[in-house]
């Protein structure tokens, strides 16, 4: 069965510090991968998605970047965090089996607080 | 890409009652999906309805889709305390992405 992992679960970082959040998927190959941000009490904002190694699409201009160094690894980064980067970050995957429907499966999330 | 808009924003019901929430969208869709999020957790996929379907059931969940009105509803019957969560509709178009609404927060009182 497929499993998605995210770490860390919580993170408190000072403004101007770098960021690296990691997401890995097990039990599937060639997944589509997604990074979302969720502000408190709000919906999900798609930040990046990837359909293959090294292929990253950015949805909104921002202080963040994403990379996919391996098939089942997706990394969200920032060189210098802003206060506005605080939020709940969710990684998700969708697979070939759901190619027509794009059903997504979510990780447990990372709570980022920038102070 | 478009977003779904859920209504109401919040809903409080007694255990055993039914909960109904709605989702509206603006353009054509491939499918519409509903997800649940417990506080501080990731989203869990509940049910998917394709654009050529009108109603689907899964356990205590019933989803309807009216493409002429560009709307969907999610009904949870015989609610339980464990149903307390936020519920999101997600619009699936002809690409790799889903567009999520802001969600309906459901509180089930014992």
Q: Please tell me what DSSP assigns to residue B71.
A: E
CA distance A14 to A32: 31
What are the average pLDDT values for consecutive 10-residue runs of chain B, which has 110 residues? 83 97 93 95 95 97 97 98 96 86 95
pLDDT tens track for A28-39:
889 999 999 998
Cβ pair B3:A43 closer than 8 A: yes
Instruction: Say what percent of chain A tops pLDDT 70.
Output: 94
Neighbours of B53 (CB within 10 A): 14
Question: Among A70, A19, A27, which Cα is nearest to A47's?
Answer: A19
Q: Where are the beta strands (DSSP E) in A16-109?
A: 19-26, 32-38, 44-52, 55-58, 65-70, 73-78, 87-94, 105-106
Q: Where are the beta strands (DSSP E) in chain B?
A: 5-7, 10-14, 19-24, 31-37, 43-50, 55-58, 61-66, 71-76, 85-92, 98-100, 104-109
Could you tell me the two tokens for A10? 């919580």
Residue of A44, A101, A108 lying closest to B31 (CB–CB): A101
Task: Tell me the nearest-neighbour CA distance from A79 into chain B, angstroms.
Answer: 26
Residue B42: closest CA among chain A residues belongs to which residue? A108
């Amino acid at each position: 069965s497929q499993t998605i992992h995210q770490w860390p679960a919580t993170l408190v970082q000072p403004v101007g510090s770098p960021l690296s959040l990691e997401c890995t998927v097990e039990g599937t190959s060639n997944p589509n991968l997604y990074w979302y941000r969720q502000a408190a009490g709000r919906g999900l904002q798609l930040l990046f998605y990837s359909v293959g190694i090294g292929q990253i699409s950015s949805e909104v201009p921002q202080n963040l970047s994403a990379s996919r160094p391996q098939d089942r690894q997706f990394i969200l980064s920032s060189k210098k965090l802003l206060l506005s980067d605080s939020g709940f970050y969710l990684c998700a995957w969708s697979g070939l089996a759901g190619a027509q429907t794009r059903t997504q499966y979510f990780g447990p999330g990372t709570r980022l607080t920038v102070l | 890409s478009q977003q779904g808009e859920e209504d109401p924003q919040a809903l409080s019901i007694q255990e055993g009652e039914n909960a109904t929430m709605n989702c509206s969208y603006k353009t054509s869709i491939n499918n519409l999906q509903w997800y649940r999020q417990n506080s501080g957790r990731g989203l869990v996929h509940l049910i998917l309805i394709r654009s050529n379907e009108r109603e689907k059931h899964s356990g205590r969940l019933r989803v309807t889709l009216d493409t002429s009105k560009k709307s969907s509803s999610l009904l949870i019957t015989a609610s339980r305390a464990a149903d307390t969560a936020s519920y999101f509709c997600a619009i699936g178009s002809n690409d790799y992405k889903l567009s999520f609404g802001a969600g309906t927060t459901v509180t089930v009182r014992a």
